[in-house]
Structure 1
Amino acid sequence: MTGSRADVRPLLRARDLTKRFTTRGGGGPLGRKSVFTAVDSVSFEVFPHETLALVGESGSGKSTTARLVAKLMEATDGTIEFAGRDVTHARGTDLARFRNDVQVVFQDPFSSLNPRHTVERILTAPLVYQGLPIPGGRRAFAGELMERVGLNPDHLHRYPAQFSGGQAQRIGIARALAVGPKLVICDEAVSALDVSVQAQVMDLLLRLQRESGFSYLFIAHDLAVVRRISHRIAVMKQGVIVESGPCAEVFEHPRDPYTRTLLAAIPRIDPEWDRRRREGAAEHASTTASPEELP
């Protein structure tokens, strides 16, 4: 990301987000209680038209953070602001408005798509549930969404099980776009896909961002996956953000030992890997559109 943020208001601002879970050991109601802190005082910002990647190993707290931001679970402490509004305790119409602005694409599309509903019904459901008008009617609206994500609109009558994993994930992305969100949270959205399909879906996500100008909070455990799509990266370990910065800077000059460990875990194809990684980071910095440059 180039330029100054001094005059740019964050789209999303999380401050000191904390999530604690109380468990009871020993079995039964008399078991001893213990408290597990999954997310510990995490703060970050997502600016308009940019992609922030939240990266860490399984159990690092990144998916819990995503669910807190999407208000799929309540934070124990901390605040969430969206478009200048405090939505930490949003309820009723305020929560409904927030849910229109923030959508989630989940890791497993088959578990997040109703297997008993046709694609047409799945894609129009967000508007139906919100009581919003459907431009042009259900079939035309759903067909347009299918075309936007590279699927055949003639397949609206099919059910999720009749699609491949990559196609089903495209349907999940189309559903997220149905209400015109300002922020899309991708929670390990490509980790369950084959490598070749991952690349196709990443290309799709980049194109959709260029066309619509929304922001991404991109959750992943693999730094190699986020390198191409991200403007900035925040690295999480054991519920804490240990490092954050522009994508090229994190790849070229990682400060935290944990970040260096994640970078070292990227498969090396040949002895020239380090040189190509450096060149790729420099190319990313020069070719990736900054949030201000996106439409």
Structure 2
Amino acid sequence: MTGELLLRARDLVKQFPVAGTAGLFRPARLFTAVGGVSFDLHAGETLALVGESGSGKSTTARLAARLLDVTSGTVELAGQDVTTRKGKDLAAVRRTVQVVFQDPFSSLNPRHTVERIVTAPLLYQKRDIPGGSREFTRTLLDRVGLNPDWLNRYPAQFSGGQAQRIGIARALAVGPRVLVCDEAVSALDVSVQAQIINLLRDLQAEEGFGCLFIAHDLAVVRQIATSVAVMTAGRVVEAGDRDTVFGDPQHEYTRRLLAAVPRIRPEWEAARRAKAAAR
């Protein structure tokens, strides 16, 4: 355990009605996207939820961030149950948990300047902006490796990696304790992925936030995660610290995921093959 317990999810379930299955005297059939997921996230820890598309990992992340209501189960932030919070009470959760989305361009308003984008969370929460809007934005842009003088530019003037840095700056504006990265690097080139991963690691070392990192690329996960939970069909089938899950996977699904990775750290791959041969 790295530090203070920040986020606790217990028995999360999310069901969606299946379109076209409801009738006058017949309730809609329900699809279970997440079926009883539990995990803890500590300060300074990066927990990666991994699995194939449709495994339920992104839905789990949105439940934890309270972007979706749970069907059943509980979400606790710093020991406080936030599962059913609404309105102003839910807005308070946003000061603790922020999300970095997969496609930066779809999450950044193309008509807003960088300054307006970065300060929007504070304005939404009716909080004072330390040092004023311009200086605050310049400081955050510098922290995420962007030119502070770009505060008057628009999203279309940036590359994908630069736009993702703006998204990270916006998330950091409220000083979150938990950062949820939902496939935050999957749409980027490999070299840019490495830059964003290094940035997240450096920021986490400075701020001490917990990071819930959603990904399907195990090569990316091994670079950033401290612990891993493997999901399939809406459930966690294996969880543990990164080296254990990568070096000695216990579940067949995890072994299949690892076998599909073109390259993996040689010592982990050698250990995994040796254990598999000994079974």
TM-score, normalised via structure 1 length: 0.87
Q: Which moved more, 1:173-182 or 1:219-228?
A: 219-228
Cα-to-partner distance string for 1:247-278 (whole Å, 9 max, x where unaligned): 0000110000110111111113xxxx673445
Look up the match of 1:275: 266
* CA distance in structure 1 between the aligned counterparts of 2:265 and 2:132, rounded to whole angstroms: 53
* CA distance in structure 1 between the aligned counterparts of 2:195 and 2:136, rounded to whole angstroms: 24
Unaligned runs of 5+ in 1: 3-7, 282-295
SS at match of 2:29: strand
Q: Residue 112 of structure 1 is aligned with which of 101, 107, 115?
A: 107
Look up the match of 1:17: 12
* CA distance in structure 2 between the aligned counterparts of 1:104 and 1:27, rounded to whole angstroms: 34
Look up the match of 1:103: 98
Look up the match of 1:56: 51
The percentage of aligned residue pairs carrying the same residue is 64
Give RMSD over aligned pairs.
2.0
Sort the Cα spacing of 1:95 and 1:141 in 2 relative to 1 into closer, same or farther, 3 A.
same
* CA distance in structure 2 between the aligned counterparts of 1:153 and 1:185, rounded to whole angstroms: 25
1:152-163 to structure 2, matched below 5 A, reads 152-163=147-158
Equivalent residue letter for 2:237: V
1:178-189 to structure 2, matched below 5 A, reads 178-189=173-184
User: 1:45 aligned to 2:36?
Assistant: no
1:130-169 to structure 2, matched below 5 A, reads 130-169=125-164
Q: Residue 264 of structure 1 is aligned with which of 237, 256, 259?
A: 259
Look up the match of 1:206: 201
Q: Give the Å deviation of 1:222.
A: 1.3
Look up the match of 2:275: none
Equivalent residue letter for 1:17: L
Cα-to-partner distance string for 1:138-178 (whole Å, 9 max, x where unaligned): 00000000000000011111100110000000000000000
Q: Give the Å deviation of 1:92.
A: 3.4
Q: Kindly tell me the number of residue pairs found equivalent between the two proteins.
A: 272
Q: Residue 245 of structure 1 is aligned with which of 237, 240, 246?
A: 240
Sort the Cα spacing of 1:274 and 1:187 in 2 relative to 1 into closer, same or farther, 3 A.
closer
* CA distance in structure 1 between the aligned counterparts of 2:88 and 2:7, rounded to whole angstroms: 19
Unaligned runs of 5+ in 2: 273-279
Q: Give the Å deviation of 1:34.
A: 1.7
